[in-house]
Chain A
C-alpha cells in the first residue's frame, strides 16, 4: 500500500463547514480557481470595450458589468456541467469569488474604448 508522500502529485487537504467532501485534491482545486480567474478577467476586459463603444456612462456601465458577471457565473456553472461539487468545494467559489476582481480592468478598458470611440 502506498505510503503518504510529502510532495506527491495530489496533496490532500481536509476542511469542514462548507465542504461536504472531507478531503479533496487541492492541486486540481487551485487549477480550477485559476481557470475561473482567467475567464472572468478576459470577459471583464471585453465587456469594458463593449461598454465603451456603446457609449454607456455612469451607472449604466456598472449595471452592465454586474449583468456580465452574472452571465459569466451561469456560463461557468454550465461548464462544470451543473455538478459543482465534482470540481469545487463550495458554490461560493463559482458565484462570488472574483466578482469584483475584474472591476478595475473593466473600468480601465471602458474609459479606453469610450475615449477612442467618442472623444478622439
Chain B
C-alpha cells in the first residue's frame, strides 16, 4: 500500500514538472507576442490541480497509519513479556539444588 501511494505521489510530482515546463513554453510564446502574463493557460491550471490532488492523497497515505492510543484496545496488548528483564527465564543447573524453605536474611 505504501509503494502504491509512493508511485502515485511520484506521478503527481511528474505532472507538476510537466505543468512547469508548459508554463515556461507559454511564457516564451508570450515574449514573442509581447503580451503580459496574467495566468497560465487553462489546461495548465487543470494539470496543476490534478497533480496537487494526487500529491495530497499520497501525502496522507505514505507516512503510515495512525496507531491507537487507548491502553486497553486489542492492538495495544503487551506481548513482549519475555524480552523484559524482570521475567527472563533461564534453564540452568541451579534447579538440582534442594529447595531451602527456611532461608533467613543475614545482616
Contacts and interface: CB of A to CB of B under 8 A. Distances in A.
A binds B: yes
Nearest to B75: A28
Interface string A64-100: 0000000110011001100000111100000000000
Interface string A32-61: 101100110011001101100111000000
Interface size range of chain B in the complex: 35 or more
A10 B76 CA distance: 8
Interface of B: 9, 12-13, 16, 19-20, 23-24, 27, 37, 39-40, 44-45, 48, 51-52, 55-56, 58-60, 62-71, 76, 78, 80-81, 84, 86-87
13 contacts: A2-B78, A8-B84, A9-B80, A35-B66, A38-B59, A39-B60, A39-B63, A46-B12, A53-B44, A55-B40, A76-B60, A117-B23, A118-B27
B16 A9 contact: no
A31 interface: yes
Given A46-B16, A53-B16, A87-B68, 20 more contacts: A2-B87, A21-B71, A23-B71, A24-B70, A31-B67, A35-B64, A39-B63, A42-B62, A43-B55, A46-B12, A49-B20, A50-B16, A50-B51, A53-B40, A55-B39, A72-B56, A75-B60, A76-B60, A79-B60, A117-B23
